Amino acid sequence: MDIEKRLHQLRSQFQKDLTTAQNAKELEALKVQYLGKKGELQGLMSLLRECTPDERPMVGKLINELKNDVTESLDRQETKLGDAELSERLKAEIDDVTLPGRRRFMGRRHIISQTLEESLDILMEMGFSVQYGPDIESEYYNFEALNFAKDHPARDMQDTFFITKDTLLRTHTSNIQIRVMEGSKPPIRVVGPGVCYRNEDITARSHVMFNQIEALYVDKKVTFGDLLSTLEEFYTKLFKNKLKLRYRPSYFPFVEPGMEVDISCIRCSGEGCVLCKQSGWLEVCGAGMVHPEVLKSGGIDPEEYTGFAFGGGIERVALLRHAISDIRFFLEDDLRFLQQF
């Protein structure tokens, strides 16, 4: 058989087969039939063995031209069928523009982060700068420098996570006090936020880890009245209401005198309810004038300078502001709870 005639017949057969391919699957079968390793065009290579050396360049050229034509024709048909199938699918997929859109929930800050940031914003407006201390602390900065003697009974009150004999997870953010006083000269007006750790039973009102802020102000002639006015201003802004404050004498080794601070119940305005356990008051923080021994540990002369400090839990503020019954909700990652805030 004449080689050119054989190539012509193969080209005609391919064009006929191409017109019958109606979908991508049939087109793929056609591609394998003509361009595969055992396909029609590969079989033509045997014709080269039948040619004389002078004929082989011409025959090879004709075979390559046919192969290129087949490839281009298959590609065009593949694009054409793909466009047609897409068009048909789009016609079948009719969107009802009257249906409501899918609601997408945006990420937001955790309720504790919101409460902490709001507390810091208020204190920064009042002139405090933010200082951070380490979560892993030495016994010196966490206890001893804050006037906790080695055999002081207050240490028994702090059930502490010790890492080594002299290293622990801090039990309060008061550990910033000595660090700041060592590195700064008065006037000092700072607030230290952070996570605290205590080896307590996990209940609706207590947890082994919680967030706290600790405010410290040291300068000449700082008075107890300055502390009271600062507390009143801070909690009035934080709870967005003019509140009555009550002060109860209490003991903390690092302040003298020390006190517990209560606010009038934000739900019943002091009348008595479930939230305040019928007392009309809610405890919010501990406070007092910085103990002279603490000032000495920080390298500050207590004869020349005085100061005050107060600290409270962020979770407690969030519990009171939003009437949440269980502190454990904050760490359970339940979106049904978190999305409310």
**pLDDT tens, 271-329?**
777 777 878 888 899 999 999 999 999 999 999 999 999 999 999 999 888 888 888 88
For the entire predicted model, the pTM comes to 0.66
Average pLDDT for the chain: 85
Write down the pLDDT at residue 129.
Answer: 96
Identify the band that residue 195 occupies on the pLDDT scale cut at 50, 70 and 90: very high
Phi and psi angles of residue 85, each rounded to the nearest 5 degrees, phi first:
-65, -40
Per-residue model confidence as pLDDT tens digits over 115-173 = 999 999 999 999 999 999 999 999 999 999 999 877 765 565 557 888 888 899 999 99
Q: Which amino acid is at 340?
A: Q
Residue 1 pLDDT: 46
Give just the sign of the alpha carbon dihedral 322, 328, 333, 337. Answer: negative
Which of 213, 175, 211, 174 has the alpha carbon at shortest distance from 191? 213
Q: Evaluate if residue 38 carries a pLDDT over 60.
A: yes
% pLDDT > 90, the chain:
42
CATH classification code of 111-338: 3.30.930.10
Say what the pLDDT of residue 154 is. Answer: 52
Element containing residue 282 per DSSP (H, E): strand 281-290
> 70 phi and psi, to 5 degrees?
-65, -45
162 bridge partner residues: 168
Element (H, E) at 130: strand 129-130
Cβ neighbours for 209, distance < 8 A, ≥ 6 positions apart: 195, 196, 197, 198
Residue boundaries of the structural domains of the chain: 3-92, 111-338
Task: Report the C-alpha gap between 197 and 316 in whole angstroms.
Answer: 15
- What are the distances in angstroms from CA 121 to CA 114, 192, 204, 241? 11, 12, 28, 17
**Rounded to whole angstroms, how far apart are CA atoms 223 and 289?**
8
